Amino acid sequence: MSRESNNPDTLFILDFLGKQTDLKVVLDTVSKWLEGLIPGSMVTIMFFSENEKHLNLISGGQYFTSAYRNALTNLKIGPYVGACGAAAYYRNIVICEDIFIHPNWKRYQKFLIEENISACWSVPIISSEGNLYGTFATYYRKPKSPTDDEIKKLNHAAYLTALGIDLYYERQHKNAMNDKYHSFFDHHPDTVYELDLHGNITQLNITSKKINGFELEQIVGLHYLNFIHFQYQKITEEAFKKATEGHIQRLEIQIYDVREEKYWADLTFLPLFQNKKIVGVFAIVKNITDRYKTEEHLQLLKRGLDASPNGIVITDATSNHEIVYINPAFLKLTGYSEKEISGRNCRFLQGEDTDINAVQEIHQALKDKREIQTILKNYRKDGTWFWNQLTLSPVWNQNNECTHFIGTQQDVTQKLIDEEYINYQRTHDSLTELVNRQVFEELLDLAFYKKGGMNNTLAVLYIDLDDFRNINKDLGYAEGDQLIKLVSQRLRTILQEDDVLSRFAADGFALLLNKEYTQEKVTQTVEGVLKILALPFNIKGHHIRLSASIGIATDTEEVENFRELLHHAIHAMHEAKNEGRNIWHWYTSGRNTVHKVNDIQLRHELIMALEDEQFKLFYQPIVDSLTNKIVGVEALIRWFHPERGLISPLSFIPLAERTGQISAIGNWVLNQACKDITEINKNRPDQLSVSVNISPIQFKRTNFLAELRNTLLTNNFDAKLLKIEVTEGMLLMGIERSVEILKAIRALGIKVAIDDFGTGYSSLSYLRQLPIDQIKLDRSFIQHLPEHKSDAAIVIAITQMAKTLNLEVVAEGVETEEQAKFLTESKCNYLQGYYFAKPVSIEDLKVILDRLYFINT
């Protein structure tokens, strides 16, 4: 074979095989070469199919008819299948010197004469790895036996054919691998660098330019460490070394782009093999900065959920709503462990007495995939129950699909108990447990409104104990309280259904007879009151007899509203006092006529008062409880009548409200207060604020906000130094509209305070709705501090509640050092009252501020 290999023809063929890429041309060339070496030979080449075990003619078919070519299609190999089928079967040369007598050709006898062939020699074509490619055969027109030289030439031709096929397949494999390489390298969605074994960059893909901005000429030849953040260079070098040893490496590091901005990357080192040797390394870089940010954000959210003081659970949105997350606060709240409740439905917290309506409401919200907040009774692991304020919210993914629900749980048991207690204390007198003045007025107003044009008669009795101050002084406050409590208990005994009894003042009670009462029935009731009060009271061994002066008023007289009816009863009580006490007095219309005449005259004089500047503002200081520093003042109007002298606001404010003059007076107060405080604050390092009371009539006017805004602009007054005081009863007459107005006031920068807090009938739920900054404790809670434990408890409860709601507390009517000290210790923010200063004129206020920067108590 070596001689054949050195033959010039063979060398030409070998050179040709190395250059030619068309397999058909290669096979035809080898065939023609052999036909030239063996005269009279006709060469055919057949390919072998490994799967079907068939041979098919691919070269030399031009020598035969189509019928014979078809016979050579899908030729099954075997020991008796001609020369080619047998050569392929035995993988050895098969010589058929005379095919007419050879047993392998019996099935092909019909083709032999027509094809004019008599001999066939066939050699298997074996690959360099020993695989059968097919057969190489020579046909002859006459019977013929091969010489040794011809057999050598036939085998050499088969060898060259196998070599040509090997080269073809190797070239195909290399082309396929090259295509795969370029497909992987050029079209990879991430940055791909080709590195040599020293770590120098030799190539980069198109994506690298798009993502990192690098051009090929910028970085080819540079070492990859030039682009690795210094903190990660050591571990990257170690990973690269392992990759050069044949190990795939993957790590997350920080890398620089063309702008020298670092980003988080997922780096993979892949060994690059060539001829089974590692010749380099692929570096695949995926930008994972967004993933890192997302993971950091998720970790932050998880830490926030874990740190929340409220219990939080997250469930999936499947029909069973299984728990997938629980924070520590939830475990602490319920007493369960995470293992005990993961994967369960939250219904295990419910008990037999859990409100079915709340449960159904939750189920419907889950079904509707909407948010809900409710309070329901739940049970801990140890069986104890608690009121759970549950807020349930759906979680939506980017496809607007609800995937989870997040539930926030809060134990509000004590809060509800406190609210119920405080609400009761705010609406009832703590000593007698009767409704207080504010509630009585609201119920009287409601009864007056409901009565409308009906013929029912409303009667109001005002019962004032005679000489109680002296009795209280002699007995002592504690015994005096006990006496008042016993009086209230006796008065309850005469009540009929729907009657309302209230402790209206320290020693005064108001009674609303809500049924249809005749004068005779009212008289019987009043006589009954005097009779039960006359019976002796036993207080620590003292037998005390009381009397009372009672005023009576009914709506049979001409009255415009409930306040006028109440005023009539109080006025009649004073008449009873004047007539000798221990009697009752019925309000008469004659006296009312006099009052109406007086009102007409006073109305005219009110108009003149504004024009003649008879009004004057007095200011009562408001003190910081911790520093005793004056931080603000409350503006209080005074009327200095040229003939009548000083007229109390209690006399003219109600009239101004009835006549509509209150708006003009209110605007004057606002303007004057802003002017005065602007003057006061000149050159003062600490600016004083001013509080101004607003009438319900003025508050509800449509142009109130515009007038308020104009006052600030006209006086160039800093809005944050102005506080508007309103009563809670006034706000609750149309809560939604009141909230709108209060929000608009606060939007101007003005603070809002609720005056006389603690005397109203409103629920604390309303207080949470109101956008306010401050509450002012009614003086009725202050006057008996700190001796009266019930008042002390109310004050402490209200200040704690205010702190929870981020509200400031001002105490009015502070008159003693003990009161100031108690309120300060109770965390009341600000104090106001005669103990610090009476209301003073603007001139006197300037003197006080000049002399005393701090009030020394």
Under a CB-based contact definition with an 8 Å cutoff, are residues 777 and 795 in contact? yes
What is the arithmetic mean of pLDDT over 612-618?
93
pLDDT exceeds cutoff 70 at 854: no
pLDDT tens sequence across 508-567: 999 998 776 777 778 788 888 988 998 999 988 888 888 899 999 988 767 778 888 899
Name every residue whose Cβ is closer than 8 Å to that of residue 305 and which is 6 or more positions away in sequence.
Answer: 312, 325, 327
| pLDDT at residue 180, rounded to an integer | 64
pLDDT exceeds cutoff 90 at 336: yes
Residue 527 CB: number of other CB atoms within 10 A?
11
What is the arithmetic mean of pLDDT over 633-662?
82
Residue 175 backbone dihedrals phi, psi, to 5 degrees: -65, -40
What is the arithmetic mean of pLDDT over 189-197?
85
Residue 711 CB: number of other CB atoms within 10 A?
19
* Exposure class string for 580-605: b at 16+ Cβ within 10 A, else e: eebbbbbbeeeebeeeeeeeeebbeb
What is the arithmetic mean of pLDDT over 637-657?
83
Q: Is 265 exposed, middle or buried (0-12, 13-18, 19+ CB in 10 A)?
A: buried
| pLDDT at residue 13, rounded to an integer | 60
pLDDT tens sequence across 268-289: 999 988 888 999 998 988 888 8
**Of 183, 191, 224, nearest in space to 207 by CA:** 191
HEC readout, 111-172: HHHHHCCCEEEEEEEECCCCCEEEEEEEEECCCCCCCHHHHHHHHHHHHHHHHHHHHHHHHH
Percent of the chain with pLDDT over 70: 89
Percent of the chain with pLDDT over 90: 41
Structure tokens at 597: 């005449």
The vertex-168 CA angle with 164 and 173, nearest 5°, equals 150
| pLDDT at residue 765, rounded to an integer | 58
pLDDT exceeds cutoff 70 at 485: yes
Under a CB-based contact definition with an 8 Å cutoff, are residues 630 and 855 in contact? yes
Q: Is 523 exposed, middle or buried (0-12, 13-18, 19+ CB in 10 A)?
A: middle
From CA 818, how far away is CA 123, in angstroms rounded? 127
Domains assigned to the chain: 2-175 (3.30.450.40), 188-287 (3.30.450.20), 295-411 (3.30.450.20), 428-587 (3.30.70.270), 602-850 (3.20.20.450)
Under a CB-based contact definition with an 8 Å cutoff, are residues 431 and 500 in contact? no
pLDDT tens sequence across 141-164: 999 999 999 999 899 888 888 888
pLDDT exceeds cutoff 90 at 236: yes
- Enclosing H/E stretch for 603: helix 589-611
Query: What is the total residue count of the chain?
Result: 857
From CA 786, how far away is CA 429, in angstroms rounded? 17
For residue 849, give the amino acid letter.
Answer: L
| Residue, of 827 and 289, whose pLDDT is higher | 827
Structure tokens at 22: 């068309």
* Exposure class string for 321-347: b at 16+ Cβ within 10 A, else e: bebebbbebbbebbebeeeebeebebe
pLDDT band at 700 (very low <50, low <70, confident <90, very high): confident
pLDDT tens sequence across 597-609: 455 567 678 878 8
pLDDT tens sequence across 12-34: 565 665 555 677 887 888 888 88
Cis ω for the linkage preceding 839 (within 30 of 0): no
| pLDDT at residue 47, rounded to an integer | 92
For residue 23, give the amino acid letter.
Answer: L
The vertex-487 CA angle with 482 and 493, nearest 5°, equals 135
What is the distance between the terminal CA atoms of the chain, rounded to a whole angstrom? Answer: 127
Q: Residue written as tokens 């496809």?
A: 399
pLDDT band at 734 (very low <50, low <70, confident <90, very high): low
Under a CB-based contact definition with an 8 Å cutoff, are residues 850 and 630 in contact? no
Under a CB-based contact definition with an 8 Å cutoff, are residues 151 and 128 in contact? no
| Residue, of 139 and 655, whose pLDDT is higher | 139
| Residue, of 262 and 651, whose pLDDT is higher | 262
pLDDT band at 187 (very low <50, low <70, confident <90, very high): low
pLDDT exceeds cutoff 50 at 857: no
Under a CB-based contact definition with an 8 Å cutoff, are residues 501 and 488 in contact? yes
Q: Is 267 exposed, middle or buried (0-12, 13-18, 19+ CB in 10 A)?
A: buried
- Residue 488 half-sphere exposure, CB side, CA atoms within 13 Å? 26
